[in-house]
Structure 1
Amino acid sequence: MTLACVDIGSTFTKAALVDPVSGKLLATAQAPTTLDDVVAGVLAATAGFPEAPVIACSSAGGGLRLAVVGYEELISAEAGHRAALSAGARVVHVAAGVQDATGLAALRAAEPDVVLLVGGTDGGEASVLRANAAALASSARLQGPGASARVPGGSGVLPWSVPVVLAGNAAVRDEVAAVLRGGGLPVHEADNVLPDIGRLAPESARAAIRAVFLEHVIGGDRLSTDPRLRSWVRAVTPDAVLEGVTVLARVLAPAEVSVVALDVGGATTDVYCVPDPDAEQATLGREAVGVPARRRTVEGDLGVSWSVAALRAAAAAEGLPEPGDDPLTLGEAAAGVALRRHLRAEAAYGPGGASARSARLVVLSGGVFRHADPAAVDQVLARLAGDGGGAGSVLNGKAVLVDRRYVLAAIGLLSGDHPEAAVALARDLLRSPESVTPLAR
């Protein structure tokens, strides 16, 4: 038996044929992603593996767009933001406090696929959570042709409906869920992301966000009406890659090696930081919100095809040279900006937890690195290592591994039902000497 592990990206659909018992990589293939119906791209990528069942992850169309609405910015909204990133979502909007017509208009303009509604610790403040649930329900209640809904506290109208993951104060969960459903909103209930001050608990919300992704994005008609897509897709791609990086870190655990992975794609650039999974989390540096052991940032404006204009603007804002049209130079710019932003996000956590700067292995993924000449990649790495603005502190003196066969997503897809195969595939990746470049400077 073999399995086809497929990543449906915004530009290309990549497939890896794997033996789920031994974890041996048997073949790889790719095809352009067909955004009008992504199933066609999957069938093209797996045409050489006709007998292999497909398991897949997807970031097609930019992946899962998520908005966070919380009680106040520095505590519950920040906790929700971190929980959303841990779920592999692209956070497109964060709002705090009671949402009036202006706030809800901004929320709608962000075009999220799902809203993560949070607020209050368990048994604590509940008025803002109640008010925001009422506002969302009212904005959706009369949705339909020619319908409108008056937004509480405002004078505008905003007919709109979007799935909601409710992960706030558990003491009023049933009440708030009933209000949301009364407005016709699909609701997925989860445990509070911030059950107590200083304790971040994202796993339940993460599972609920994944369920929304599978039901409303994959199970809807945005990417395909073919029912096979729903049976194939197990996760959003950043979630699968995070699991793959986690398996890689587990393989390296005896040496206590933390791992940073940098995945440059057509629409987004994602940074993952995973410590030795057996290490104790360091003392939290920020009392209000806990520090997650695994950290990820998903940069929705940094991509080498769909987001080139935004990438150029982001590089200019960082004071970096304007990248040329060559994909590898665009990838270099995306990597540099993404690493700087990731380090700024880590600084906001305070000391504690994983640190990108302390990683001993950096993994580069994405087509711009995978298909480039190794000598050209070495030149890019040398320039990034000399970046005093942040990338250099991550890369300098570290071993750098290029995921040339693009197996990180496949490792993550295998990790649930075939953990031994996932570990074997991770070990095979680490045994690829041609992919490792020491930067001892």
Structure 2
Amino acid sequence: MACVDIGSTFTKAALVSPATGELLATAQAPTTLDDVVRGVLDATAGFPDGVPVLACSSAGGGLRLAVVGYEQLISAEAGHRAALSAGARVVHVAAGRLDPPGLAALADARPDVLLLVGGTDGGDTAVLRHNAAALAGWDRSVPVVLAGNAHVQDEVAATLRAEGPPVTVCANVLPDIGELAPESARAGIRAVFLEHVIGGDKLSTDPRLRQWVRAVTPDAVLDGVVVLAGLRTAAEVPGVVVLDVGGATTDVYCVPDLDAEQTALRREAVGVPAHRRTVEGDLGVHHAVADLRAAAHAEGLPPLADDALALGEAAATVALRRHLRAEAAYGAGGASARGVGLVVLSGGVFRHADAAARDAVVTRLAGDRGGAAGVLGGTPVVVDADYVLAAAGLLAGDHPEAARALAATLLLPDSDQVT
């Protein structure tokens, strides 16, 4: 089985035995953005003829998603968290009744998909109805995932469909106060991604792409992180955090030790998802360097050298700080600072750096007073040198044993451990 990650800069391929999970070979090639299928064929050229391909993609910036909710602190935030868990790059969050300036701001964000939420089941319906009417004639090319108040979903879906935008109806992301239920919306977002982004002509007109791609890359990686965390349930501190520095974005994944976490969390209005992810679209080491420098400056970091590892270190530092600030909403002190017994570094900047340079980066991250020390201080760190997390995530559904065996390579004594 060829497990392929079509990234914004490089397309990475892993040849894996679906029976045993053995990693047989790895390869990569530049992503060919005019037609990403050529890059996949280049990356897998050395693999056996006819090998099946499973792929994920973040090419072209991945999945751009906007959230429209009832109000900022509850339903819009619930939609935001559901979107992040689905591997989307959230480019806009709106709350309340959409007006002409709100619709203009939404258009400026250029989303691929819109997630429309609002109201608990049986709660307020007026705002959801208003926003559906406002969006119905807004942009027929942008599909809508509807995951709001179940009592008016049929009516709202009919309002939208009357004007033409495709609508996918899912269960409410916030069925009751304090109850976050993102899985249905996550599945709906994935289906829309496959149908309208991969199935369209944005990345390729070659029908093979539709057959290969199963998920947006961060969604596949999150599935792989869940597999890895599942292997560590017997560890003294089983939680896992992954820092994935890419050319266009830097992603942070968190599967904490829920038992340790619950001792510190207060009950929140929007609930606490077990598997969390944040994506930072201005923290890329190739396609977003100017934005990365600005973000690093805003965080008080020293001026950045042009060295790729220095840029990667800054991206990881800023992304982890932001992630911890977002996590603080889950409880005092930030949930992902608790119950984490393994940190995984991923991305080309870490994969290609020499061991001494990587050690120095980890040491500085572990001493970061801006927040990173809360996760990396004294925690074992490994490098996903072969990009096995995305491959494990792709295999997890149909080949769970192979996925576990592949993820377990990050736990072996001879894995690429930094500290």
Q: Distance in 2 between matches of 1:423 and 1:322?
A: 41
Q: Distance in 1 between matches of 2:209 and 2:83?
A: 24
2:225 matched to 1:245? yes
2:92 is matched with 93
2:210 is matched with 230
Q: In 2, are the aligned partners of 1:274 and 1:354 still within 8 Å (CA)?
A: no
Q: Distance in 1 between matches of 2:195 and 2:282?
A: 26
Q: Distance in 1 between matches of 2:15 and 2:259?
A: 31
| Paired residue secondary structure (1:254) | coil
2:174 is matched with 194
Deviation for aligned residue 1:166? 0.3
Q: Distance in 1 between matches of 2:259 and 2:23?
A: 27
Distance 1:352 1:184, change over 3 A: farther
Q: Distance in 2 between matches of 1:100 and 1:402?
A: 47
1:208 is matched with 188
2:412 is matched with 431
Distance 1:432 1:215, change over 3 A: farther
2:216 matched to 1:218? no
* Cα distance per residue 1:124-149 (max 9 Å; x no partner): 10000000000011324xxxxxxxxx
* The one of 292, 296, 306 aligned to 2:287: 306
* Cα distance per residue 1:316-339 (max 9 Å; x no partner): 000011221111100000000000
2:324 matched to 1:325? no
Q: What do you get for the CA RMSD once the two structures are aligned?
A: 1.6
| Paired residue secondary structure (1:139) | coil
Point out 4+ residue stretches in structure 1 off by more than 3 angstroms.
276-284, 351-354
2:268 is matched with 287
Q: Distance in 2 between matches of 1:67 and 1:351?
A: 28
Amino acid corresponding to residue 88 of structure 2 in structure 1: A
Q: Distance in 1 between matches of 2:128 and 2:245?
A: 37
Q: Distance in 2 between matches of 1:427 and 1:389?
A: 32
Q: What is the aligned residue count? A: 417
Distance 1:81 1:264, change over 3 A: same
| Paired residue secondary structure (1:437) | coil
Q: In 2, are the aligned partners of 1:9 and 1:59 still within 8 Å (CA)?
A: yes
Structure 2 matches for 1:39-438, cutoff 5 A?
A: 39-49=37-47, 50-140=49-139, 161-255=141-235, 256-276=237-257, 285-351=266-332, 354-431=335-412, 433-438=414-419
Q: Distance in 2 between matches of 1:432 and 1:189?
A: 46
Structure 1 unmatched runs, 5+: 141-159
Q: In 2, are the aligned partners of 1:281 and 1:293 still within 8 Å (CA)?
A: no
Deviation for aligned residue 1:357? 4.4
Greater Cα shift, 275-284 or 324-333: 275-284
Greater Cα shift, 237-246 or 160-169: 160-169
| Paired residue secondary structure (1:433) | coil
Amino acid corresponding to residue 66 of structure 1 in structure 2: L
Q: Distance in 1 between matches of 2:368 and 2:256?
A: 24
- Identity of aligned pairs, percent? 76
Amino acid corresponding to residue 79 of structure 1 in structure 2: A
| Paired residue secondary structure (1:253) | coil
Greater Cα shift, 405-414 or 346-355: 346-355
Q: In 1, are the aligned partners of 2:79 and 2:115 still within 8 Å (CA)?
A: yes
Amino acid corresponding to residue 205 of structure 2 in structure 1: T
* Structure 2 length-normalised TM: 0.97
Distance 1:52 1:9, change over 3 A: same
Amino acid corresponding to residue 313 of structure 2 in structure 1: E
Q: Distance in 2 between matches of 1:32 and 1:432?
A: 32
* Cα distance per residue 1:198-232 (max 9 Å; x no partner): 10000000000000100010000000000000000
Deviation for aligned residue 1:437? 2.3
* Structure 1 length-normalised TM: 0.92
Deviation for aligned residue 1:353? 9.2
